[in-house]
Structure 1
Amino acid sequence: MEDTDRQILLLLAQDGRMSFTDLAKETGLSVSAVHQRVRRLEKRGAIQGFTARLDPDQIGLPLTAFISIKPIDPAADDDAPERLAHLTAIEACHSVAGDENYILKVRVATPADLEELLKQIRSAANVNTRTTIVLSTPYEGRPPQI
């Protein structure tokens, strides 16, 4: 990947609403050249989309937790992500090495909601869970070093 493309990706990771004009000023390219590069990066899949970052407290989901899951039956199909996809409180699902198979990042409103979600996860995926509740988040969603 070219340095200019990396610079465009970094700028957009920091501010996804940056205009093509501002990207052009920052990179020293013309607006049309920046536009072409961004479209090419989208087609390649380097840019997967643009979203708004929401404040969980402001939208009523102040409780964040990480839930590690492991199948009760080690011989069972590895289909937990598909079995859990309908649970919208699960923000992310990561396949991991170690004792557990997946770590889920979840956001809910209350401890009671977390307890209910744990029941739903255990039932839907036939798994054991281990939960870590987040006390604070000094930083999150930082742009990757590219």
Structure 2
Amino acid sequence: MRLNDLDERIVHALAEDARRSFADIGALVGLSAPAVKRRVDRLRAEGAITGFTVRVDPAALGWQTEGFIEIYCSRNTSPEAIHRGLERYPEIASASTVTGDADAIVQVFAADMRHFEQVLERIAGEPYVERTKSVLVLSPLLRRYSSGSPGAPGSPARHG
């Protein structure tokens, strides 16, 4: 599904603040509140908008340590098998298959260094994992949360 320009602007407004009113979004994009609601309902029905959520600073929940773990798997390990193995770790914020030498990379939040080490050891002990490589985050420099596609307000221009 490809969004038109107006739908994209609505999605960007919701990505900035999902609690924003339809009237407020309508004022931004030049539509009435009911027209915005109809578009949002359609975008949800079509699967372009998959849900609404809250972003919480992990540190507020006591998760002070962040790191990334590269996972190197045994031959013929499917992405589904990796997903099944990782989904039970509440410390994993995201996991993706990647190009390069590693098969996957996971973003981990932990309470402290010891907790991160325990998560790393548990992941390394998964039957499909041959080895891991990890890095710790010192200071996050830039974070973008589902703010939409490139070309959104405040992001580099789209190439097309």
In the superposition, the TM-score normalised over structure 2's length comes to 0.84
Cα distance, 1:85 vs structure 2 = 0.9
Q: Secondary structure at the match of 1:42?
A: helix
Indicate how the Cα distance of structure 1 residues 101 and 32 shifts in structure 2: closer, same or farther if over 3 A, else same.
Answer: same
Q: Encode CA deviations 1:71-105: one digit per residue, 9 max, x unaligned.
A: 1x324455111112111101101111110110001
Structure 2: 5+ residue runs without aligned partners?
A: 153-160
Deviation >2 Å, runs of 4+: 75-78
Match in the other structure for 2:40: 38
Identical positions, percent: 33
Q: Encode CA deviations 1:7-52: one digit per residue, 9 max, x unaligned.
A: 1011111111110110111111111110000011111221111111
Confirm or deny that 1:74 pairs with 2:78: no
In structure 1, C-alpha distance between the alignment counterparts of 2:127 and 2:56, rounded to whole Å: 28
- The count of aligned residue pairs is 145
AA aligned opposite 1:133 = L
Match in the other structure for 2:155: none
Indicate how the Cα distance of structure 1 residues 8 and 99 shifts in structure 2: closer, same or farther if over 3 A, else same.
Answer: same
Contact 1:64–1:134 (8 Å) recurs in 2: yes
Confirm or deny that 1:130 pairs with 2:133: yes
Match 1:119 to one of 92, 104, 121: 121
Match 1:140 to one of 137, 140, 143: 143
In structure 2, C-alpha distance between the alignment counterparts of 1:53 and 1:100, rounded to whole Å: 29
Match 1:27 to one of 19, 26, 29: 29
Match in the other structure for 1:92: 94
Indicate how the Cα distance of structure 1 residues 12 and 113 shifts in structure 2: closer, same or farther if over 3 A, else same.
Answer: same
AA aligned opposite 2:140 = T
In structure 2, C-alpha distance between the alignment counterparts of 1:125 and 1:138, rounded to whole Å: 34
In the superposition, the TM-score normalised over structure 1's length comes to 0.92
Structure 1: 5+ residue runs without aligned partners?
A: none
RMSD: 1.4
Contact 2:23–2:33 (8 Å) recurs in 1: yes
Contact 2:77–2:128 (8 Å) recurs in 1: no
Q: After TM superposition, list the pairs within 5 Å mapping 1:9-20 onto structure 2.
A: 9-20=11-22
